Structure 1
Amino acid sequence: MDPSAPPSPDRPLDRPVFLLPGWLNSDPDHWQSHWERRHGDQRVDQADWEWPRRGDWMARLDEVLQQTPSLLERPALLVAHSLGCQLVAAWAAHSAHTARVAGALLVAAPDTEREDMPPQLHNWRPIRRQRLPFPSILVASTNDPFCSPERTAGMASDWGSTLVVAGARGHLNAASQLGDWPEGRDLLRRITDNPAPW
């Protein structure tokens, strides 16, 4: 095997992966759903996908992580899309269980402070901007309808995330036709293969 070759997206990760969908959940054609089917990643289900309450979503994530005792020895990876990115930021700013997480892949973080955000998301203001206590990569599109490149760069800087610009790919969702998005899987693997510097 060529050690300089890029890692295969099919090489199993050595730790659990939890999928954090955004508002309205991820549909069957979403790359998160592909990962759930292909890799066995665990989706964190929320009680209310239509009217998401930040505190409720944070409590649910905390509950799921505490229900997995093995995370004390082998912390998990979080894979968040859209509002799920804001969930990671809010949860990490308040939880006493962040040691159960080894890193996070954040994709298409929305600007929930924008005036044109739907009323269902108004309780996600203000955006939590504390530095994340674990390594993270924030993947952004240059033409995301829910966040400008400038605002994305600001969040990445505040969270201490490595910013990866994926080009003009919309909201990096099912409409972006990413399929099972092997490039994203490689980014997730980099978090554990190369944990420093962050």
Structure 2
Amino acid sequence: MTSNEPTVVIVPGLRDHVAHHWQTLLEARLRAANRPVVSVPPMGRDDLDCAARVDAIEACVACVEGPVIVVAHSAGVIMVAHWARRYRRPIAGALLAAPPDFEQPMPDGYPTVEALDASGWLPVPREPLPFPSIVAASRNDPLGCYERIVELASVWHSELVDVGNVGHLNPASGFGEWPAADTFIEMLARRA
């Protein structure tokens, strides 16, 4: 795919593509407007192999010619942090929404710290990201204490945006459309 306009690369979390998730709706809107967008393919809820997910990001980005803006949610954010260690070319920016704190126990129904560690997710990378980034952090995210996410944004050298009490910014928290994502993507595109 070639374009002067940045291609949005959507990186979903462990729950993959959910019909009414803001990322899925964003992708549909971008496609309807003939804007360049690609999405990392789903890997399945039970496949926790972090290296395979990082490889999937790499394969997706490798298909894009021109500038890229990564849009990641939840575990997708942690995938991007791992991927950035292998990053091979300039990225215009990344919107990193509602990163989880994988180093602390999560609610029932989510992987344990031990399972995440065994699958290569831990430790969560704490090096500065080699591209501009915005971390959109929720104050009441059940998957990540706000103060811990602020720490991650700081060590990644990301701009922190407090998006308020939005839970995990997913359908379970009452979010389908999230218009702020478009605003953040445009901010990153202008800076590029």
Equivalent position of 1:77 in the other structure = 69
- 1:142 CA drift (Å): 0.4
What do residues 150-170 of structure 1 show as CA deviations (whole Å, max 9, x unaligned)?
Answer: 100100001111000111110
Q: Does 1:66 align with 2:65?
A: no
Q: TM-score, normalised by structure 2?
A: 0.86
Aligned-partner SS, 2:25: helix
Distance 2:92 2:168 in 1: 25
Equivalent position of 1:31 in the other structure = 22
Q: TM-score, normalised by structure 1?
A: 0.83
Distance 2:169 2:122 in 1: 22
Decide which moves more: 50-59 or 78-87.
50-59
- 1:19 CA drift (Å): 0.6
Distance 2:51 2:163 in 1: 31
Distance 1:46 1:29 in 2: 15
1:143-154 paired onto structure 2 within 5 Å: 143-154=140-151
* 2:74 maps to amino acid: S
Equivalent position of 2:188 in the other structure = 191
Maintained 8 Å contact 2:141/2:167: yes
Maintained 8 Å contact 1:83/1:109: yes
Structure 2 residue corresponding to 1:90, chosen from 82, 107, 120:
82
What do residues 27-60 of structure 1 show as CA deviations (whole Å, max 9, x unaligned)?
Answer: 1010001011111232211434322211111111
Unpaired segments of 5 or more residues in structure 1? 1-12
Decide which moves more: 108-117 or 16-25.
108-117
Maintained 8 Å contact 1:15/1:76: yes
Q: Does 1:47 align with 2:5?
A: no
Distance 1:126 1:76 in 2: 26
Equivalent position of 1:10 in the other structure = none
* 1:79 maps to amino acid: V
Q: Does 1:129 align with 2:129?
A: no
Count the aligned residue pairs: 177
* 1:85 maps to amino acid: V
Q: Does 1:108 align with 2:105?
A: no
What do residues 118-175 of structure 1 show as CA deviations (whole Å, max 9, x unaligned)?
Answer: 2343331100111111110000110000111110010000111100011111001112
Unpaired segments of 5 or more residues in structure 2? 32-36
Structure 1 segments, 4+ long, off by >6 Å, are: none
* 1:177 maps to amino acid: G
